[in-house]
Structure formats: C-alpha cells, structure tokens
Amino acid sequence: MNDLKRALEAAQTGESRPSGPGWVGRTFRFDESFLGFSGHFPGYPIVPAFVEVLASIVVMEQIKKTSLEIRALDNAKFQRELHPHALVAVECRETQDLPHLAFQARIFDENGTAASFSARCVAAKQVEP
C-alpha cells in the first residue's frame, strides 16, 4: 500500500450516514500535516482532486475487501475546495459488481457538495502485469 493510501486510511474518522439507499460512506478529517497537502499549495493547502478520487477508492476497497485499480473517471465535477480540518464525507454507490466495478461517488463537507463523479475500476488481482 502506498503512503498516500495509508495517510487516507489514517484520516478516517468513522462511517458516515449515507443520504440514500445503496450509498455507503466514510468520513475523513485532514490536518495540515496530511501528505496530500504536500505542494498543493504552499501557504494555501487544499485537498487535491486526485486525493478525493483516491478516498472514494479506499471506501470501495474497504467495502469490497479487495484492492482496486481505477480505469476511468466520468462526469467529474469538483465544485468547491476542501481545506484542512474540514469533516469530509465520501459516499459511494456501486453500479456494477466486480471484476469490473463501477460506482458513483459524492463528496461533502459541512458546506455541502464538494465533488461528484463516476469511476470504473478492476480488482487489482485482475490487472495484468
């Protein structure tokens, strides 16, 4: 597991209460020392969009109990910046099961929706070397 995924797992605060049927979620809180802020941006830290996507992958890996590798991201809308100490809820809804997992994700903080997207992944064991 890479350092960023470990940092994401450490930033989890617990399960969120998803806002609808079929949605699963976790909450995260990123302090100033969170690895994802490195260089993004000095003096004005924001959670990179890639970290938001990776957080959704972490949630789905925990649900599916397997490592996933992203293959595509669709309909991505990153609407607002996420800053240190915000309580961030990541909710996912599976739309296709393994081995070609697809899911929708939405990301919120206390001010509302920050991002939404659809992702397509494969189980890491399905990935050819």
Per-residue pLDDT for 129 more than 50? no
Question: Considering the entire predicted model, what is its pTM?
Answer: 0.91
Query: Would you state the pLDDT for residue 126?
Result: 54
Count of C-beta atoms within a 10 Å radius of residue 123: 16
Per-residue pLDDT for 55 more than 70? yes
Give Cα separations from 53 to 10, 13, 116 (angstroms).
16, 18, 9
pLDDT, one tens digit per residue, over 58-110 is 999 999 999 999 999 999 999 999 999 999 999 999 999 888 899 999 999 99
| Helix or strand run (H / E) with residue 14 | strand 12-15
Indicate the CATH number for domain 3-126: 3.10.129.10
